Amino acid sequence: MKYINTILKEVPLMSDTPVQPFWIMVRKEISDHVRSWRFLILVALILLTTTGSIYTVLSVIRENPAELSANTTFLYLKLFTESTNNLPPFITLIGFLGPLVGIALGFDAVNSERDKGTLSRIISQPIPRDYFINSKFVGAMVVIFALIFALGFLTLGLGIIFIGLPPALSEVLRIFAFLVFTCIYIAFWLNLGITFSILFRQSSTSALSVLAIWLFFTVFYSMLVRFVANAFFYNQAAVQNLSIMLSRISPSFLFNELTTILLTPSIRSLGALSFEQVSGAIPSTLPLGQSMLLVWPDITALVAATLICFGVSYVLFMRQEVRA
Amino acid sequence: MSEPIIQIQNLVKEYGQTRAVDQLDLEIKKGEIFGLLGPNGAGKTTIILTLIGLTEPTAGSVSVKGFNATTEPLKVKRVTGYLPDEVGFSGNRTGFESLIYTARLNSITKEKAAESAHKLLKKVGLEDAIHNKTKTYSKGMIQRLGLADVLIKEPEIMVLDEPTIGIDPKGINEFLEMIRNLSKEKGITVLLCSHLLHQVQKICDRVGILVDGQIRALGNIDELADDLFGDRDTTITAEVSPIPDSLVYNLKKVKQIREVQTNGNTITIKTNGTKEAAPLISQRIVQSGGQLYRLSYKEYGLDEIYQHYFEGGTIDV
């Protein structure tokens, strides 16, 4: 018994030593987010749309699998990528609504605290100044990870109940990777939101600016790219090449490319292949490692963009005057 | 009194081209209530922020209890409680929860935090609102919660920035009285910043008057008044009807009187500040056969101190 007690004392959460102030701040961030209406509304929206999408796919799988595209291997991945009855697939819905979650958790992270007069009170406590911005980031990330993984595993579970077959390991790994990158993608928008919340004193201004950027990249950027590419080249292949290169500046394009390839093992290349390259190839699926290799540049770019955004917000916050 | 607990040496803070604090030297002794008074934009908040290490000075140094505020801010923040102007709390938390949160950031255990939170909320008169969300609090209640929030870390120094703003006159007196009692009871050094000289001078042991980033005067209010007005003219106004011709001549003969002006029934007399002038004047008026209706003596007080320093104006005598 004595032995067990000593072991318990070693575990940080069980001992009497006070919890690190940083984790207290993170805990408060999490509970603030989870209780906020804005978060609850977004979660409800995501739940409604994704269950709709997944339910239709599941009923097709059960009743009329012939309607599904081409081969019926990787059934579980199809849950995320397939669309029927005009409902967009899970992957598109998350790519569309995920950024909104990130923005909603980030756009007023700093300026609202400044407005309320809590910022100067908190950082005058004996904590390093960067605890504030770090706890904002970590707190929101915990919430995002919990949300995305809960959603992904719920879908998987629903699939098992409906289909009755267990998913293959490679499918689970692919889904796991997909969920991780979704979180990173959302973290990008979260960090962008936090950056703007430091730049602008008014939370409405920062919300509108981030939303403008989001709208630009999800809706208008592709049109712009097509326009520019067409203006430079007549050759269709060249237009295609240029527009893909330009599109990859957009984080939402990166995310779409990345997730589509991760969840569709039959895609073998990012761009168009020539006849010479295709000739003799056996139309089979890629293993996870090869798919990852294919999108490795996308992954690097997405992670880099996320880190850059966080770095910028960190520096801005540390340099900004505290006074209102 | 004892050792200085706060030492500011040659402090300079520049924002771009403007100099918010200009070569400031100041010492605050342990246990005293020091009022830093000055108009808006005089550099009060800048000094405070430097003091708790939230802003780096351009030059000079600040030490609090022997710790350098710029290089060891954590140690300074551990012993210093800061009540910012326009303090706020997360609206969805109760006053009690807010205090616990602050206590936990100061590495105080949950049980101890709960105990002192109860005690403090009672002390600042919020025991009825202890479990209400802070968004239902009035401005005065928020200020009192802010005071409890400062006290829960058991500071040796309290820094209060414009603590009376937004409270009604009755509340202000109660609030300041509370600060004074707490300070004397626990030996807490208080640095209080305000532009409201009238309110704050009542509880301050010493005040420093800050204008354009420089301390213009230092001491208690009485000393300041003496320094300023000790050898100045005072003005006596008399209302006499009718004014006999000989009166002005007679008044001018009095040693202490420097200048006499008449305007209708009013005589304005400038004296060299000694108090004996008033009875002498009334005597002369009666002797010369005038009827004295009113005799007023203009004294220099807080208003003039305020005007002299804060508004940079000269005193018109």
pLDDT at A200 over 70: yes
pLDDT band per the 50, 70, 90 thresholds, residue A272? low
Candidates B135, B186, B191, B183; CA nearest to B162 is B191
Residue from the list A24, A35, A127 with its beta carbon closest to the beta carbon of B92: A35
pLDDT at A13 over 60: no
Do the beta carbons of residue B239 and residue B68 sit within 8 Å? Answer: no
Which whole number is the average pLDDT over B210-215?
Answer: 86
Contact B49 A126 (CB under 8 A): no
Q: Look at residue B37 in the predicted model and tell me its pLDDT.
A: 86
Task: Indicate the range of A166-170, B13-17, B194-198 predicted with least confidence.
Answer: B194-198
Task: Indicate the range of A39-53, A56-70, B160-174 predicted with least confidence.
Answer: A56-70
pLDDT cut 90: percent of chain A above it: 49
Chain A residue with minimal CA distance to B149?
A121
- Residue-averaged pLDDT of chain A: 86
Do the beta carbons of residue B211 and residue B229 sit within 8 Å? Answer: no
pLDDT band per the 50, 70, 90 thresholds, residue B229? low
B197 and chain A: CB distance < 8 Å anywhere?
A: no
pLDDT band per the 50, 70, 90 thresholds, residue B231? low
Distances (CA, A) of A270 to A171, A266, A296, A298, B178: 21, 12, 11, 10, 71
Q: What is the pLDDT of residues B145-167, one digit of tens each?
A: 999 999 999 999 999 998 888 78
Which whole number is the average pLDDT over A95-103?
Answer: 94
pLDDT at B311 over 90: no
A68 vs A55: CA distance, rounded Å: 14
B204 and chain A: CB distance < 8 Å anywhere?
A: no
Q: Which 8-state DSSP code applies to residue B55?
A: S
Which whole number is the average pLDDT over A78-103?
Answer: 88
Q: Which 8-state DSSP code applies to residue B133?
A: B
Q: Look at residue A4 in the predicted model and tell me its pLDDT.
A: 52
Candidates A186, A217, A213; CA nearest to A302 is A186
B194 vs B45: CA distance, rounded Å: 10
Q: Look at residue B274 in the predicted model and tell me its pLDDT.
A: 64
Distances (CA, A) of A208 to A79, A101, A214, A252, A264: 34, 14, 10, 18, 35
pLDDT at B101 over 50: yes
Chain A residue with minimal CA distance to B79?
A126
Contact B109 A321 (CB under 8 A): no
Q: What is the pLDDT of residues A43-53, one digit of tens each?
A: 999 999 998 88
Do the beta carbons of residue B159 and residue B51 sit within 8 Å? Answer: yes
Strand B4-15 and strand B59-64: the pairing is antiparallel
Residue with tokens 């002797």: B287
Higher pLDDT, residue B282 or B228: B282
Which whole number is the average pLDDT over B261-270?
Answer: 82
Contact B86 A24 (CB under 8 A): no
Report helix, strand or coil for A106.
helix
For chains A and B, what is the number of CB pairs under 8 angstroms? 79
Task: Indicate the range of B72-81, B141-150, B268-277 predicted with least confidence.
Answer: B268-277
Q: Identify the helix (H) or strand (E) that includes residue B158.
A: strand B157-161
Which whole number is the average pLDDT over B300-306?
Answer: 67
Q: Side chain identity at A169, as an amino acid letter?
A: L
Do the beta carbons of residue B280 and residue B254 sit within 8 Å? Answer: yes
pLDDT band per the 50, 70, 90 thresholds, residue B198? confident
Pick among A119, A121, A319 to test the B interface (most B CBs inside 10 A): A121
Which whole number is the average pLDDT over B268-276?
Answer: 73
Residue from the list B87, B88, B107 with its beta carbon closest to the beta carbon of A21: B107
- The secondary structure of B223-288 as a DSSP string is HHHHHHHTTS-EEEEEEEES--HHHHHHHHHSTTEEEEEEETTEEEEEE-S-TTHHHHHHHHHHHT
Residue with tokens 């980033």: B213
Q: What is the pLDDT of residues B7-55, one digit of tens each?
A: 999 999 888 888 888 888 999 999 899 999 888 888 888 999 999 888 8
Chain A residue with minimal CA distance to B71?
A128
Contact B88 A116 (CB under 8 A): yes
Torsion of CA A306, A311, A316, A318, to 10 degrees: 140
A82 vs B59: CA distance, rounded Å: 65
- Residue-averaged pLDDT of chain B: 84
Q: How are strands ordered across the β-sheet holding B67-68?
A: B18-29, B4-15, B59-64, B67-68
Which whole number is the average pLDDT over B116-133?
Answer: 91
Which whole number is the average pLDDT over B189-208?
Answer: 85
pLDDT at A118 over 50: yes
- Tell me which chain A residues have a C-beta less than 8 angstroms from the C-beta of B105: 21, 24-25, 122, 125-127
Rg (CA), chain B: 25
Alpha helices in chain A (DSSP H): 2-10, 21-35, 37-63, 75-81, 90-106, 111-116, 119-123, 130-163, 169-199, 203-215, 221-232, 236-247, 251-263, 275-278, 288-319
- Tell me which chain A residues have a C-beta less than 8 angstroms from the C-beta of B46: 323
Which whole number is the average pLDDT over B200-219?
Answer: 85
pLDDT at A21 over 80: yes
